[in-house]
Amino acid sequence: MNKKEISEVRKRFKPENSNIGHVYGCYVNSSKEVISYLDESLSLMPEEEKKQYLDFLKKVLSGAQGRNLSDIVFTSSQVADSDEHRLLMSLREDKPEARQEFFQTVIDNYDSEDNYLILCANDAYDVPYRGHGDVDKSAEKYASEHDDQVFRYFVCAICPVKDGKLTLGYFSGENEFHNCLAKQIVCAPEAGFLFPAFDNRSTNIYNALFYARKPEETHYELIEALFKTELSMTPAEERQAFEDALADAEINGLEAIRGLNERLKAQIDENEEDEPLSIGSGDLVSILSDCGVEDEKLQVFREKYEERFGKAAVNPENIVDLRRFEVKTGDVTITVNPEMSFLVEARDVDGKKYIMIPADGVELNGFAVKV
C-alpha cells in the first residue's frame, strides 16, 4: 500500500464516512487472562464515544512506511491452503466463530506489562471509480461491471489499558475537592494490522499491513503467530547494521557523515512519489564518493553492506536520523537543526581537535550573553 491508499482507507474512520456497524474485542490482563469481551454497536453509542473507538482503529494506519508500517506478504501456498490465511479470511467475513481462536492466538503471543484491549472491526468500502485521461465511464456503470470494487477488510488494534493519574476532583455531595483516581484508561495502540491490503485501490488478499507504534518493538512473535511469516530487520537493526558497515570500512569522518545525512535528507524531501524512497548499495557508494570517501574504503563498505543486506534496498529514514544533527564528546552535546549542520566544523587548534560553531546571538540558560 502506498501513502495515498493508506490515506484513503484512513478517511473511513471518520464518523461521517464510516460504514463500521460494530466493534468487538477482548480485554486481557498482564497475566494473559481474559477479563471481559466486548461487542458494541457504534450506532447506539454517543457520538464522542464512537469517535474514540474509530480513532483507536485509525491509528493502526499511521506512521512512516518501512518504520511503523510494514507489509506482510503471503505465499501463494498460504493463500491457497493454510490455517492462518483461512482465519484471517473468516475474520474479514466477520464470522463470530473465528474470534475466539484469533483472540487466543494474540493472547498466547503478545507480551505486555499492562492490561490491554484487542479491538476489532470490519468495514465494506464501496471504492469510487477515478477516471484517467479520456476515459469516459460513470462511477455507477464502472461499479456495476466490477464486483471487486467493494473493499471488505478487517482491522485490529491492540491498545494498552492503564490506570489514570491521581488528580484533584470536585465531589458535589460534599461541596469539596478531594484526590480521586481515574479508572482504567484505554491508550493509543501499540500494535495492530489491516487485512487484506488495499493495493491499486482494490483488494489484495496476498498482503496485510502491520502497525507497530515503536519501530524498535515490532512484535515479531505476534507476526510469526498470526501470519506465519517473518519480516526483514527492524529499523533499529537496519540502522545498526548500516553503522557497522561504515565502521568496518573506517568511514567515520565528520564531513563524510554530515554529507551523507544532508544528501539523504535532500532526496527524501524531493521524493514526490507515494512509495517511500529506497536506496541500495550503489546509491550509497555514489553518495559517499561525492562526500570525498576514498575508493578503497568504498569497496570495503560495499562488501560489508551486502554481507548484511544482500542486494536489498533500504529506506534511508531507517539508517540515519534525519530529524536532528547531534555531535557528542565525552562531556558536551551539541544539537543543531539538520538544515544548519554546515555551521559545525572540525578544526585543529595548536595540535588539538576542536568542534567549532559560530558564536552569533549566544544565550546562556536563556540569557543573552556576550562572547
C-alpha cell at position 25: 474485542
pLDDT surpasses 80 at 350: yes
Residue 277: the pLDDT is: 79
**Cα 120 to Cα 26: distance, rounded to the nearest angstrom:** 9
Percent of the chain beyond pLDDT 90?
A: 47
Find the mean pLDDT for residues 81-98. Answer: 96
Find the mean pLDDT for residues 242-267. Answer: 90
Residue 274: the pLDDT is: 67
Spatial contact of 106 and 222, defined as CB atoms under 8 Å apart: yes
**Burial, 113: exposed, middle or buried (Cβ in 10 Å; 0-12, 13-18, 19+)?**
exposed
The residues pairing with 177 across neighbouring beta strands, listed in sequence order, are 170
Find the mean pLDDT for residues 227-244. Answer: 82
pLDDT surpasses 60 at 54: yes
DSSP state letter for 306: H
Residue 140: the pLDDT is: 40
Find the mean pLDDT for residues 138-150. Answer: 49
Residue closest to 37 by CA, chosen among 102, 107, 119, 106: 119
Confidence of residue 145 (pLDDT cuts 50, 70, 90): very low
pLDDT surpasses 80 at 298: yes
pLDDT surpasses 60 at 134: no
pLDDT surpasses 50 at 138: no
Amino acid at 282: G
Find the mean pLDDT for residues 321-347. Answer: 84
**Burial, 338: exposed, middle or buried (Cβ in 10 Å; 0-12, 13-18, 19+)?**
middle
| Phi and psi angles of residue 19, each rounded to the nearest 5 degrees, phi first | -115, 15
> Which of 215-219, 224-228, 260-264, 353-357 has the lowest average pLDDT?
215-219
C-alpha cell at position 10: 484512513
Residue 135: the pLDDT is: 39
Residue 128: the pLDDT is: 86
pLDDT surpasses 80 at 232: no
pLDDT surpasses 70 at 144: no
Confidence of residue 142 (pLDDT cuts 50, 70, 90): very low
Residue 23: the pLDDT is: 96
Confidence of residue 131 (pLDDT cuts 50, 70, 90): low
In whole numbers, what is the pLDDT of the chain averaged over residues?
87
Of residues 312 and 275, more confidence is placed in: 312
Percent of the chain beyond pLDDT 70?
A: 93
Residue 130: the pLDDT is: 66
Q: What are the strands, taking DSSP E only, across 21-130?
A: 22-28, 34-41, 69-73, 115-126
> Which of 127-141, 168-182, 198-212, 224-238 has the lowest average pLDDT?
127-141
pLDDT surpasses 90 at 347: no
pLDDT surpasses 50 at 227: yes
**Burial, 358: exposed, middle or buried (Cβ in 10 Å; 0-12, 13-18, 19+)?**
exposed
Residue whose entry in the numeric block shows the C-alpha cell 455507477 = 140
Of residues 346 and 167, more confidence is placed in: 346
Residue whose entry in the numeric block shows the C-alpha cell 466463530 = 97
Confidence of residue 15 (pLDDT cuts 50, 70, 90): confident
Find the mean pLDDT for residues 41-51. Answer: 91
pLDDT surpasses 80 at 362: yes
Residue 280: the pLDDT is: 87
Residue 146: the pLDDT is: 43
Spatial contact of 252 and 246, defined as CB atoms under 8 Å apart: yes
pLDDT surpasses 60 at 371: yes
Query: Model-level pTM?
Result: 0.72
For 165-218, the pLDDT digits (tens) are 777 777 777 777 877 766 788 999 999 999 999 998 899 999 999 999 988 788
